Structure formats: structure tokens, C-alpha cells
Chains A and B, each alone.
Chain A
Amino acid sequence: MDVMEKTDPFLLGHEQFSKRVNDVPSWLEKRRSVALAHFKVLGPPTRGVEQWRFTNVRRIAALGAVAAGPGEKTLTDLSDYSADGATIRMIFENGFFRADLSELDNLPKGLRLRSLAEVLGEHAQAPLTQLDPHVDSGDEAFTALNGAFMEDGVFLEVAANTVLETPIQLLFVGHAADSPRAAHPRNLIAIGENAEVTLVEAYVGQGAYWTNAVTQIDLAPSARLTHYYKQRESERACHVTSHIIRANRDSRLVMHNLLTGSELMRHNIEVSFTGEGAEAQVNGLYVADGDQHLDNYIHMDHQVPHCSSDQFFKGILDGKGQAIFTGKVTVRPDAQKTDAKQANRNLLLSESARIDTQPQLEIYADDVKCAHGATTGQIDPDALFYLQSRGIDPKSARELLLFAFAKEVIERLPHEAMRQEAESFLNQRFSSASLSGDLP
């Protein structure tokens, strides 16, 4: 086995971590050691594993990121990072809660928003029930690794029938200290019965670091969650995240993914439909240029009848940028009347950009609707010429067309502040030299 593929580079700082947390409740210590053992058994993902066949984790290993600690506080200023229209903000630095930078005063009734570290500290005897042990024992090695380092993150509970109009922002800021840092935030989100909320989960930062996040979301019957996941990590960062979502009866999830950051990203979305009538719509836009590698792995697991899932992803690839879109749909034998859709459209702007898109359908029920489609193309030269023939210079014409392509995803964002922020970010990105492309 290649040296770089061993577990060591991913466990830097684990010794110090163990010393630091050695007074934790025994149930938690056991959870962590089970997770660590599981990670070691699985080993870091290799391209021999089907779900990882397009992504080499060598870049993460090469970072040599050391597990961050709660004492390393250097972040003082959030002015670089948009609040996306949220007035409730929870801020994390390298995976650790920064109460001083957060805005959690006067939380509305029905909203429980705290740091996981705090909540864990209060569960000395009995395990925290919201923390599902099955999450760590699955086949994703980095999720197990996150479990081995579990210490802090978001703990959010929305009580039944609570409806919140303004979004809540969960902002994760990463950065290097004397050397690259690794953050393993674990986020537990539970939306109560018939509650409705909008969340922004944003990852930003500066310099070289690695984020390995796990976000577990439980939707109670008839819960409605709009979740905006914004991956805008530093261009030298690696980012791995797993969204593990359970959709109960008649719940509704609308997820928006805007994926533009990091040099390497692996994003898992796993939705388990456990109650009839649940709906999940997952929209996304990824933009990769330079040497970026963005891997999206989505799994809609239809376990019960009458649920619907809709995946709608678009991508823009330039330079040597590479993206992967795997849209897997499982329809289990009982899941009759499932309606599963997926679409993936890509623009390739350069000869060396690359997209690997693959639908994977595993259907074991006979009365279902499943549709999928993928397209890959270039900027339409006729459209480019038409704009130029009206006096618009080639660069502006190109930007106009790129933005037009992206707009279909952006305009679905739930709040004006989010749309405007995304729009101005993308316009700036499209006008930068790095997205200049070498094809018309």
C-alpha cells in the first residue's frame, strides 16, 4: 500500500486530542474509540472503492493537517463573510465554537441552538440520544474519522410547530495556525414536527487547512427545512463533508448547494426516506477552475412508498478543473409510487477541464417513476456571436452567458440577500482571469 494512503497523515494530532479530552464521559470515549477503530479498519478511501473511484485523497494527506484545538483563537473579524440575511449566527473557528463572535442573544421560542461541546459536557452519564451511533459505523471512512475526533459542532433543535422566518447561519471559518489544521465539526440538527426553518451552513477560510464535517439532519413528520450549503473554502483547503439526512413522514427538504471553494472537495448527501410522503429537492451549482477537484456524491434512499426526490445540479468547469456528479437513487422493494428525478448539466470551458457524471439507479419496486438526464456542452458560439454583434465585447458576452447558465440555480435560493450575495460572488468569479477559458 502506498505510504500516502495509510491512515497516519489523517490522524495527525490525535494523541494531543486524546490527552485533551480524557475527562469526557466514558460513553463518549467509547464512541470515539469505536469510530477510530472503524476508520482504521476501513482505511482512507482509495480509488479502488466504487464511491471514490474518481477522487484521490492524496491531496488531503499531503496537507499534513494537524487536528485543531479549541484554544487556538485568532479569528477576530467576520467582515469578509456574508451573513446571508441571517440575524442568528453561530460561528466556528477550525471546528470550535466561538461564542464571542456568534449572535445568539434572544433566540426565538422553540429554538435550541448551542455548541455540541457544551451539550456533550452535560451528558456525563447517559449518551446523548440525538447522536446516532450508526452514523459512525457506515462505510464512509472520513465520517468514522470525524467520529474519532468528535468534540464540537452545532447542536440545533427546532421544537414542534415552530416557524422561523429569518434564516439561521452556521458559519465555519478554517485557517492554518503554524501549520495546516484539520477540523472535524459534528453537527446535529433536528427539526421538530410541523416546524419550518431556513439554515445556511457556510464554510469559508484562508490558507491551507482541512475541513472534515459531518452534519446529521433529522426531519420529524411534516417538518420543512430549507438548507443552503455554501462551500466557499480557501483555494488551498480540502473539504470533506457528509450530510446524513433522515426524512420522516410528509417532511420537506429543499437543499441548495453552491460549491465553488477548496482545491479538493468531497460532498456526500445521503437522504433516507423513512416516512411516507416525504419530499427532497436538492439543487446545486459547482464551479471549478485552476486545479480544483469537486466530487459530489448524492444518494437518495427510498425506503418507503410515496416519496419524491429531485436532484438538479449544474456545473461550470474551466482550466484543469474537474468535477464529479454521482446521483444514486435506491428504490427499495416497499417504496412503491416513488418519484425520483435527477438532472445534471455541465459547461466545459477548456480542453483540459473534466466532468464525470453518472446516474446510478437501483430499483427494486415496480411502480415507480425515475427520470435522469445529463448533458455536457460548451458555451454556445452562436449566442456568443449574437451578443458581440450587438456591441458587447467577447469577455462581457462570455460572462453574461456563464451567469445565465448559473442563474437557474441561484434564483431558487430562498432569500433575496442570499441571491444577491451569490450573484455578485459569481459575477466576480466569472470575470476573474482564472475563468477565462481557452474555448469560445
Chain B
Amino acid sequence: MLEIKNLHASVAGKEILKGLNLTMKPGEVHCIMGPNGSGKSTLSQVLAGRDDYDVTAGEVTFQGKDLLDMEAHVRALEGYFLAFQYPVEIPGVSGLHFLRASVNAVRKHHGLEELDAMDLMGLFKEKARLVGLDINSLKRSVNEGFSGGEKKRNEMFQMAVLEPKLCVLDEIDSGLDIDALKIVADAVNAMRSTERSTLIITHYQRLLAYIVPDHVHVLSEGRIVKSGCKELALELEEKGYSWIDSNPSMAV
């Protein structure tokens, strides 16, 4: 599904990712944990194709194709989905209009016929039920005036509608109360399949009580310094990130 080799990336001349390696197979759920400033969000943005970041070395293969060679929107069309830590407000563009453009772009890319308004409503209603979204909220401008939890629910809704191959959830749990957290987790779990992989990027392990990862990685100073199974997250929670920093020998 995804293979990252020796990825180096910098922003404004400062190197953030310093040789990151990660391999994800179809159907797997991975979790990357790390303290603030370790490069978690940079990784998700670089993979999504944000051009503020310079990739200085390394390669990323997504479903056999060179991900870094694709424009941002092509990555999405190919099945990469980033759930934003801070979903962007877009005044004047309704959720319906936005998702219609998005869904039909993806369908066109895969040689499928575009959906008409009726079929789209059917699809939206079905997916809205899945994440408990009020379908009427799609008439409002994208993310504008929504609470933090509602915005994350919108992200899950978009993910459910677009049915990506690889879902990357960037700090999806930040600022969420327990109910909102469950909604996010339920959506992710409902979408788990042998065809789809999920990468959870988080600071805390509390989300992992609801979404059980196959692999947990610890990111520090722009590299993955430790990988393990889900128990690693608990250990990390207990001992704190200083445990990693004080054990430089852990670096792979």
C-alpha cells in the first residue's frame, strides 16, 4: 500500500523529516506517535502534497506508484485521504457543492460516470447515517461556523463518501470530547477492510482504546525510532516521551 524510504523533508530551510522509513500493507492500521515537533504533521502534509514542504531525499511508493511525483489532487484521486487536524473553513462553498465536485472528480479519474444530484443525495444520506451527520448541514459553507467536533465529523463523512485506499488521520483526536472521539473511532472501524489501510497520527494513546492498531511507531526528531505492537502505545503513555529521548540507543 505505502512504502516510505529514507524520507527527508524541510520547511523554510529547516529539516523536519530526517530519514523516515515506513511500510504499510493493505488492511493494516498503523499508528505514529510522537511528541510535539517530532515531525508528525509534517509527514501527513508532505504525503498529501502540500507545496510548502521541500522533499530533499527519499521516495514514497503508493500502490506501486511514485506518490511524490503526483500533484496533490492526483494523490487524492488515487486514493490518498488526509483527515486534517484543522479542517479549513471555506465561506461561500456549500458542503454539497464541494462534495459533488470531489466525488465526481474521483469517479471521472477512475473512468466512472459522474453521479447526478439524485444519486449523490442517496450516497450522502447513506454515509451521513454512518457518521451521524445531519444531512442538512451540507447546505452550509464547508466547515464554517462548525464546532471542533463537528469539523472532525465532517472529515469522517468525507472519508466515508470518498472511500479512499489510504486514510491518514492527523491528530484527529485533538480537542475532542469522549463522545466525538467515539464517533470518529466508529467511522474508522466501520471502514476497516482488507483493501484499505489507515495511518493514525497522534500525540496521545486514548484514541487507541477505540481503534486498535496493528502497529505502533514512535517518531522522534524526524525519524521512526521504535516500532512495535499496540502495547507500545501503553508503555509510551506510562513512561512519557522522555523515555524515548533518554534512550538514544533505541534509534533504528
Complex interface: chain A residues within 8 A of B97 (CB): 400
For residue B141, which residue of chain A has the nearest CB?
Answer: A404
Q: Are A390 and B90 in contact (CB under 8 A)?
A: no
Q: Are A389 and B76 in contact (CB under 8 A)?
A: yes
B65 within 8 A of A: no
Q: Are B76 and A390 in contact (CB under 8 A)?
A: yes
Question: Digit string of B61-85 for contact with A (CB within 8 Å is 1, else 0)?
Answer: 0000000000111011100011010
A405 within 8 A of B: yes
Task: Report the separation of the CA atoms of residues A97 and B127 in the bound assembly, to the nearest whole angstrom.
Answer: 58
Complex interface: chain A residues within 8 A of B109 (CB): 391
A392 is contacted by which of B50, B73, B75, B89 (Cβ under 8 Å)?
A: B73
A81 within 8 A of B: no
Q: Are A391 and B92 in contact (CB under 8 A)?
A: no
Given A388-B76, A391-B73, A391-B162; A404-B92 close (CB under 8 Å): yes
Number of inter-chain CB pairs below 8 Å:
77
Most chain A CB within a 10 A radius of its CB, from B87, B98, B99: B98
Complex interface: chain A residues within 8 A of B75 (CB): 389
Complex interface: chain B residues within 8 A of A405 (CB): 92
Given A385-B50, A400-B101; A394-B73 close (CB under 8 Å): yes
Complex interface: chain A residues within 8 A of B92 (CB): 401, 403-405, 407-408
A371 within 8 A of B: no
CB distance from A385 to the nearest CB of B (A): 6
Q: Are A401 and B90 in contact (CB under 8 A)?
A: yes
A386 within 8 A of B: yes
Task: Report the separation of the CA atoms of residues A51 and B71 in the bound assembly, to the nearest whole angstrom.
Answer: 48
CB distance from B120 to the nearest CB of A (A): 14
Complex interface: chain A residues within 8 A of B91 (CB): 404
Q: Which of B146-197 contact A (CB under 8 A)?
A: 158, 162
B39 within 8 A of A: no
Task: Report the separation of the CA atoms of residues A393 and B71 in the bound assembly, to the nearest whole angstrom.
Answer: 9
A residues adjacent to B (C-beta < 8 A): 380, 382-383, 385-394, 396-397, 400-401, 403-405, 407-408
For the complex with contacts A389-B72, A390-B76, A390-B102, 17 further pairs of A-B residues with Cβ separation under 8 Å are: A383-B90, A386-B84, A386-B142, A387-B102, A389-B73, A389-B81, A390-B99, A391-B106, A391-B109, A391-B162, A392-B101, A392-B102, A401-B93, A403-B92, A404-B90, A404-B93, A404-B141
